[in-house]
Amino acid sequence: VQLVESGGGLVQAGGSLRISCVASGSTSSIVAMGWYRQAPGKQREVVAGITNNGGNTNYVDSVKGRFTISRDNATNTMYLQMNSLKPEDTAVYYCRAVGGKSYWGQGTQVTVSS
């Protein structure tokens, strides 16, 4: 499975951004996907997760009510809609897929200016 993220960029605090992750390869093996982030000098943390059918989602407390994870199985694409962005959301955002093995994308930079 290969994962490619896109959509990152620079946005002002309070703004919105949507990042995407396209999966290719043996996508039928994927049972769940998620978004992680890593800020400079900090450990990578989970942001949100979603099951294969999109029926179950979960979020880290710091993004609840602001971020929405979704996926389109027809196009093998997962999204993270980020609203009311804060400077502390600045990080490299990574896509992860799980299905027997764990797969990671290369990351996309999200920078929120104050």
C-alpha–C-alpha distance, residues 101 and 99, integer Å: 5
Helices (H) then strands (E): counts for the chain: 0, 11
Which of the pair, 35 or 100, is modelled with greater confidence?
35
Report the pLDDT value the prediction gives residue 55, as an integer from 0 to 100. Answer: 80
Determine the pLDDT at residue 101.
94
Q: Are 18 and 81 in contact (CB under 8 A)?
A: yes
For the residues 78-105, what does the mean pLDDT come to?
97
Q: Which residues contact 41 (CB under 8 A, 6 or more apart)?
A: none
pLDDT digits (tens, 9 = 90+) for 19-51: 999 999 999 999 999 999 999 999 999 999 999
User: Using CA atoms, how far apart are residues 63 and 9, in angstroms rounded to an integer?
Assistant: 18
pLDDT number for residue 53: 80
pLDDT band per the 50, 70, 90 thresholds, residue 6: very high
